[in-house]
Amino acid sequence: MARKGAQPAVRKQPQRTCIACRETEGKRALLRLVRTPDTAVVFDPTGKKSGRGAYVHAADDCIGKALDGGGLARALKAEITPEVKGDLRRQLAARVSQE
């Protein structure tokens, strides 16, 4: 039971770091990429898939830097093939255009 005059509790939003630009942002403002337990690297629009995750801003320069610069492979500790990079680039570009 809350005390009279007490302020309601403010929930803290989880903070995550973009793997491309290294800026910290709220978890919901970033896009999540995940290496699933079966070692597939996929885009996670829900943010709830099981596996090792990495976050990137929904900006073309951050997406390009994460995919081309090797930051995504390093963050997920996985080798990413050119086909997977192409698929991720298309999925993330479609998501960015929706926003």
- Domains of the chain from N-terminus onward: 15-98 (3.30.1230.10)
**Maximum distance among all Cα pairs of the chain, rounded to whole angstroms:** 60
Q: What is the pTM of this model?
A: 0.86
Q: Count the Cβ atoms, other than its own, within 10 Å of residue 47.
A: 15
pLDDT tier at 2 (50, 70, 90 boundaries)? low
- Give per-residue pLDDT as tens, 30-67: 999 999 999 999 999 999 999 999 999 999 999 999 99
- Reported in sequence order, the residue ranges of the chain that DSSP labels E, i.e. its strands, are 15-17, 24-26, 30-35, 41-44, 52-57
